[in-house]
Amino acid sequence: MSLDIWMRENPLSYIWIGSYAVAFLIFAIEIAMVKHKRKITLQQVRLMREADESEQE
Amino acid sequence: MAINWFKYSAPTTFYGLAGKLIPWFAISAAVLCIVGLYIGFVVAPADAQQGEFYRIIFIHVPSSILSMFLYLIMAAYAAMGLIFNTRLSSMMASAIAPTGALFAFISLWTGALWGKPMWGAWWVWDARLTSELILLFLYLGFISLHASIDDPRRADRAAALLAIVGSVNVPIIYFSVQWWNTLHQGSTIKFTGTSMHIAMQQAMFTMLVACWLYAITVTLMRVRSIILERERHTKWITELAEVKA
């Protein structure tokens, strides 16, 4: 069945899969990337702090 | 008692404030998104001409509005950083850019999904569509330019210029349907009124507020990482509870 016929027979599935699922997937990826970035940055800052402390000792 | 707003323009105080605000914005965005989708898909009736396909507007219109507004806010922050040399303004501009780019992409993507059944084409070189595509490229240009310069303060200044110059594109997107003969329809909601069903309006405005709250949440989350990264040599960062943990 071609996409044209399928989308006209199943408009709500077309809208959900094509638009909303894609949009929510993008939001989920963005949140995951932001959380990952924070985790990495915190690790870097902790490492720097530990290095500074061991230097002072 | 007067609130000293300038206090919150310092990364030191803004970092903590953003951390406290994030959960509230995130929960509100999730709740409003569920309510908006319920009204949009269960309460709102099918459109007389477009049938069920019009329901794409509940994500397409908020994404398009957000992509334009976020660009103006990003350019305003970038300009403040350039003129007043405030650190937080430039950090905010950098934090907004990826979210704005994603909203511009979602706007173009959902527009294409709507265009196929309605116009018979995924894409046309229409003034509204083309100017929105240019907006996406401006966001990508801002992010790339910022990432290509090692010194963050120099990167802020260079990217700020691009953001300010590029802001001229936003009114072009908005007025494109009036200035040129476009395939894209004009605004359905005007100051003089609208022909939209009340449930459609409610769903669209609820989703618009949900998208705003989502954008604020993600921007605050991102700006906290940027503050951590850029201020990592300062004493207050090393004394933070999450750094000590």
Tens digits of per-residue pLDDT, B69-107? 999 999 999 999 999 988 899 999 999 999 999 999 999
Mutation pick from B110, B136, B234 vs chain A, by most beta carbons of A within 10 Å, is: B110
Could you tell me the pLDDT band of residue B225, with boundaries at 50, 70 and 90? very high
Range with the poorest average pLDDT among B66-70, B202-206, B241-245: B241-245
Q: How confident is the model at residue B240 (pLDDT cuts 50, 70, 90)?
A: confident
What pLDDT, on a 0 to 100 scale, did the predictor assign at position B127? 93
Residue B117 touches chain A, beta carbons under 8 Å = yes
Q: Residue A16: closest CA among chain B residues belongs to which residue?
A: B56
- B102–A contact, CB cutoff 8 A: yes
B114-119: average pLDDT: 91
Nearest to B226 by CA among B1, B13, B15: B15
Q: C-alpha distances in angstroms, B74 versus A13, B83, B126?
A: 35, 14, 26
Q: Output the pLDDT for position B213.
A: 98
- pLDDT, one tens digit per residue, over B129-160 is 999 999 999 999 999 999 999 999 999 999 99
B27 reaches A (C-beta below 8 A) = no
Residue B52 or residue B211, greater confidence: B211
- What is the rounded average pLDDT for all residues in chain B? 92
Token pair, residue B242, equals 């999450």
The whole-number average pLDDT for the span A11-24 is 92
Q: Answer whether B166's CB lies under 8 Å from B75's CB.
A: yes
Residues of A in contact with B55 (CB under 8 A): 12, 15
pLDDT at B188 over 80: no
In whole angstroms, give the CA distance from residue B140 to residue B101.
Answer: 7
pLDDT at B1: 60
Q: Looking at this predicted complex, what is its ipTM?
A: 0.91
Q: Output the pLDDT for position B245.
A: 74
Any A CB within 8 A of B242 CB: yes
Question: CB of B152 within 8 A of CB of B233?
Answer: no
Neighbouring residues of B190: CB distance < 8 A, sequence distance ≥ 6: none
